Amino acid sequence: MKRITIAIDGFSSTGKSTLAKQLAKKLGYVYVDTGAMYRAVTYFAMQNNWVTENTLDKNSLINHLDEVHLKFHFNEALGFAEMFLNGVNVEQEIRTLEVSQNVSRVAEISEVRAKLVQQQQEMGRNKGVVMDGRDIGTVVFPNAELKIFMTASAETRAERRFNELIEKGQHVTFEDVLENVQQRDYIDTHRDDSPLVQAADAVVVDNSTLSKEEQFDVVLNLVNQYL
Ligand code: C5P
């Protein structure tokens, strides 16, 4: 069967990864969570004190970017790939609110983006990939056969992210999570390099009005038009 590239972009916590994982499983495709890559670079910078809530030492991070080795390892038991930074599983560490508070400022750095985009293009070279992020349909795979742009209200998204963090045992308030979601949206849509924009040929899926099942059916129907 023909294999295609599926690009899923959109704001924070719109349910991109849930949809992308479901699709990849159904189609037997590789799923790539590009947000995890930006989060891992951010975690690396935090370990070295190059980024805090109020500071960013861009040059030090850029000068040490060659020391960042990222790899996804598929975990059979969990059913998804976990992020490894320099051989260490950082899947838990990269999902904290602290990393979320710093990641969009790190993702503005062009050198960081160039490195990660190159790896992403390599991972999708043979098609049969579902990739989610902010610039997949516009920059990473502008020729992707299917582009989805996911939206939902900021409140719906913050509620989802808040519940996820609480489930993981993290101590956060709804207000902090909402503020973070809004801040990341602002930075992601206003940066100079590869801002989050809807590709002209993307199909919009609004997640505040559709259930997970309805959303999956809509997208699967779109996919089937290309196979
Ligand atoms: O997808 P997730 O919310 O985990 O992404 C974390 C952050 O990484 C985003 O808010 C954005 O700043 C950055 N990102 C990006 N480009 C991508 C994926 C994520 O700039 N392709």
Contact 21, 80 (CB under 8 A): yes
**Looking at the domain that runs over 5-224, which CATH code has it been given?**
3.40.50.300
C-alpha of residue 104 to centroid of ligand 1, in Å: 7
Query: For residues 53 and 42, what is the distance between their CA atoms, to the nearest angstrom?
Result: 12
Q: Are 19 and 150 in contact (CB under 8 A)?
A: yes
pTM over 0.80: yes
Bridge partners (DSSP) listed for residue 6: 130, 146
**Residue 186 CA, ligand 1 centroid: distance in Å:** 12
Tell me, what's the pLDDT at 212? 86
pLDDT digits (tens, 9 = 90+) for 135-183: 999 999 999 999 999 999 988 999 999 999 999 999 999 999 999 999 9
- Secondary structure of residue 204 in the 3-state scheme: strand
Taking CB atoms and a 6 Å cutoff, what residues make up the pocket around ligand 1?
12, 34-35, 38-39, 103-104, 107, 133-135, 184, 188
Q: Is the pLDDT of residue 210 over 90?
A: no
